[in-house]
């Protein structure tokens, strides 16, 4: 673990896409630094603003009444120049010119790569994970994901209402780039009939079409498909599905509304702790670190180690949603549905992780017999 000399001035910047909760992290970092007697500076517009010396002094008043606000009060931007050795040297020189010997970088993997380069050039850096995509491998939580997924969930609930009224099929596209976490969580939370994830989708549209037709035959009034932006092309997919099924199909792309809005309690609290923790790491003389949340604890990793990690969808979460969908597709809607789904998940959770489709069907039949017997007696 790298250590440095005492830090006297800390800069804070947000880089890449904005995420609800970034202001909470900024506020906590600034107030923690001031509490420890350190001068705090805000760097506007990310690395681009750093190179252009858009740097301001930060006081406690500057971050007052910001914890509930979405976006980032420091603004953000993407900076291609930061990917070049010349840009990295220029950024380090600006830090030295303004006496910034510690830097808190709030953003995603690309932002951390910039922090890594600055650390190699002698600027003490700590990264804080800020992205709605939840795609940073070293952490189970990223600032903004909770707000974004709740925003998307509420929007999909509204789309479902009108989709049912018009007996439509609706494709709702959510953000997440090449990561399917928002789509997976919304698919489960909204009870979607199909969930399309970049990590899992096999591009077999006929399977979706067959599912829509079968559900309509069973009397289902709507069909919700949650589509991750890493797959995209929701509008053209809707046209193909409507042509194949004869069922009115509409695409709704939620877009950047998922980045906005007042952060949830979780995003405010977690971001605050991470912001303060980043400053504490710098004051302890540490550099080239990334703050993370792992197994219920706030921890930190070497940036090199963090960037070398890979992240995949939790298999348990994916298999769980598959069990929901298999149950919905293969069983008629009946009075014992609640017992059936509940018992299936108890069975799966008890350790039957290598469950097969035949095994599910056998367990369903067994449980249905038990449920029918119970209901007849009640």
**Percent helix, strand and coil across the chain, each to the nearest 5:** 50, 15, 35
Strands 249-253 and 39-43: unpaired
Query: What are the φ/ψ torsions at residue 100 (nearest 5 degrees)?
Result: -80, 110
Cβ 280 vs Cβ 37: under 8 Å: no
91, two tokens: 């950024």
Residue 65 is a catalytic residue: no
Choosing from 133, 194, 267, 300, the catalytic residue is: 133
Strand order in the sheet with 55-57: 55-57, 39-43, 9-14, 102-107, 124-129, 289-294, 297-302
Q: How far apart are CA 89 and CA 95, in angstroms?
A: 10
Three-state secondary structure along 214-239?
HHHHCCCCCEEEEEECCCCCHHHHHH
Q: What count of other Cβ atoms lies within 10 Å of the Cβ of residue 117? A: 21
C-alpha to C-alpha distance for 9 and 279, rounded to whole angstroms: 11
Residue ranges of E strands in 29-110: 39-43, 55-57, 102-107
Catalytic residue numbers read 133
């Amino acid at each position: 673990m790298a250590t440095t000399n005492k830090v006297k001035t800390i800069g804070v910047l947000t880089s890449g896409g904005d995420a609800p909760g970034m202001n909470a992290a900024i506020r906590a970092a600034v107030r923690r630094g001031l509490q420890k007697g350190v001068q705090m500076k805000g760097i506007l517009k990310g690395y681009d603003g750093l190179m252009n010396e858009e740097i301001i002094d930060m006081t406690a008043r500057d971050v007052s009444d910001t914890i509930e606000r979405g976006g980032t009060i420091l603004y953000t931007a993407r900076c291609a120049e930061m990917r070049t050795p010349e840009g990295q040297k220029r950024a380090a020189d600006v830090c030295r010119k303004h006496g910034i010997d510690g830097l808190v970088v709030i953003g995603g993997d690309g932002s951390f790569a910039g922090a890594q380069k600055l650390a190699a050039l002698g600027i003490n850096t700590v990264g804080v994970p800020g992205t709605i995509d939840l795609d940073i491998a070293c952490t189970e939580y990223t600032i903004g994901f909770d707000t974004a997924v709740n925003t998307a969930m509420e929007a999909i609930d509204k789309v479902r209402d009108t989709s049912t009224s018009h007996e439509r099929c609706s494709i709702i596209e959510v953000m997440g780039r090449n990561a399917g976490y928002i789509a997976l969580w919304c698919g489960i939370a909204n009870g979607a009939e199909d969930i399309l994830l970049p990590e899992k989708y096999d591009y077999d549209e006929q399977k979706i079409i067959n599912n829509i037709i079968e559900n309509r035959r069973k009397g289902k009034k709507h069909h919700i498909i949650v589509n991750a932006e890493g797959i995209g092309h929701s509008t053209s997919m809707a046209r193909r599905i409507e042509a194949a099924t004869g069922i009115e199909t509409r695409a709704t792309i939620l877009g950047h509304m998922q980045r906005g809005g007042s952060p949830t309690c979780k995003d405010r609290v977690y971001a605050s702790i991470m912001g303060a923790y980043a400053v504490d790491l710098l004051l302890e003389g540490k550099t080239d670190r990334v703050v993370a949340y792992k197994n219920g604890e706030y921890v930190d990793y070497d940036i090199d180690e963090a960037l070398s990690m890979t992240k995949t969808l939790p298999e348990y979460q994916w298999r769980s949603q598959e069990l929901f969908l298999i149950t919905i597709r293969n069983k008629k809607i009946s009075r014992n549905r609640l017992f059936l789904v509940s018992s299936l998940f108890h069975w799966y959770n008890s350790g039957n992780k290598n469950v097969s489709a035949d095994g599910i069907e056998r367990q369903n039949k067994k449980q249905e017999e038990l449920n029918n017997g119970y209901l007849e007696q009640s």
